[in-house]
Structure 1
Amino acid sequence: MNVTIDIVSDLVCPWCFIGKHRLAKAAAMVEASHPETRFQFNWLPYFLNPNTPPEGEPYRAFLEAKFGGKTPVDKLHSDVVAAGREAGVEFDFARIVTRPNTLRAHRLVYRAQSIGHRPATIEALVDGLFVAHFQRGEDIGNVATLAGIAAASGDIKKDVADYLASTEGEKSVRSLADKVTALGVSGVPFFIIQRRLSVSGAQSGEVLAAAIVEAMQ
Structure 2
Amino acid sequence: MNAVEIQVTSDFICPWCWIGHHALSQAVAGVLERTAGHARVSLVYRPFELNPDMPEEGINRQVYRTAKFGSWERSQVRDAEVAEAGARAGLAFHFERIEITPNTRLAHRLIEYARTAGTDAHQFDRLYASIFEAYFSHGQHIGLPDVLIDLAAQAGFDAQAARVWLASNGGDAEVSADETHAELEGIRAVPTTRIGSTYIQGAQPVAVFANALDNELTRAVAHKC
TM range (shorter): over 0.9
* 8 Å CA contact 2:49, 2:104 repeated in 1: yes
**Cross-structure match for 1:20:** 21
* 8 Å CA contact 2:113, 2:170 repeated in 1: no
How many residues align? The count is 216
Q: How far apart are residue 168 of structure 1 and its match?
A: 1.7
Q: How far apart are residue 125 of structure 1 and its match?
A: 0.4
**Cross-structure match for 1:193:** 195
Whether 2:65 is the aligned partner of 1:63: answer yes
Show CA shifts across 1:173-215 (max 9, x none). 1111111121111111111112x11111100001111111122
Q: How far apart are residue 32 of structure 1 and its match?
A: 3.8
Q: How far apart are residue 123 of structure 1 and its match?
A: 0.5
**Cross-structure match for 2:130:** 128
In the alignment, the residues of structure 2 paired with residue 210 and residue 94 of structure 1 have an alpha-carbon distance, to the nearest angstrom, of 36
In the alignment, the residues of structure 1 paired with residue 168 and residue 29 of structure 2 have an alpha-carbon distance, to the nearest angstrom, of 38
Larger radius of gyration: 2
Structure 1 counterpart of 2:146, from 135, 144, 149 = 144
In the alignment, the residues of structure 2 paired with residue 114 and residue 43 of structure 1 have an alpha-carbon distance, to the nearest angstrom, of 13
**Cross-structure match for 2:222:** none
**Cross-structure match for 1:39:** 41
Unpaired segments ≥5 residues, structure 2: 220-225
Structure 1 counterpart of 2:173, from 171, 193, 201 = 171
* 8 Å CA contact 2:20, 2:203 repeated in 1: yes
**Cross-structure match for 1:208:** 209
Whether 2:36 is the aligned partner of 1:4: answer no
Q: How far apart are residue 116 of structure 1 and its match?
A: 2.1
Q: How far apart are residue 154 of structure 1 and its match?
A: 0.4
Q: How far apart are residue 29 of structure 1 and its match?
A: 2.9
Give the TM-score normalised by structure 2.
0.92
Structure 1 counterpart of 2:95, from 88, 93, 96 = 93
**Cross-structure match for 1:106:** 108
**Cross-structure match for 1:159:** 161
Q: How far apart are residue 34 of structure 1 and its match?
A: 2.9
Unpaired segments ≥5 residues, structure 1: none
Show CA shifts across 1:136-185 (max 9, x none). 11111111111110000001111111110111211111111111121111
SS of aligned partner of 1:192: strand
Give the TM-score normalised by structure 1.
0.95
Q: Give the CA RMSD over aligned residues.
A: 1.2
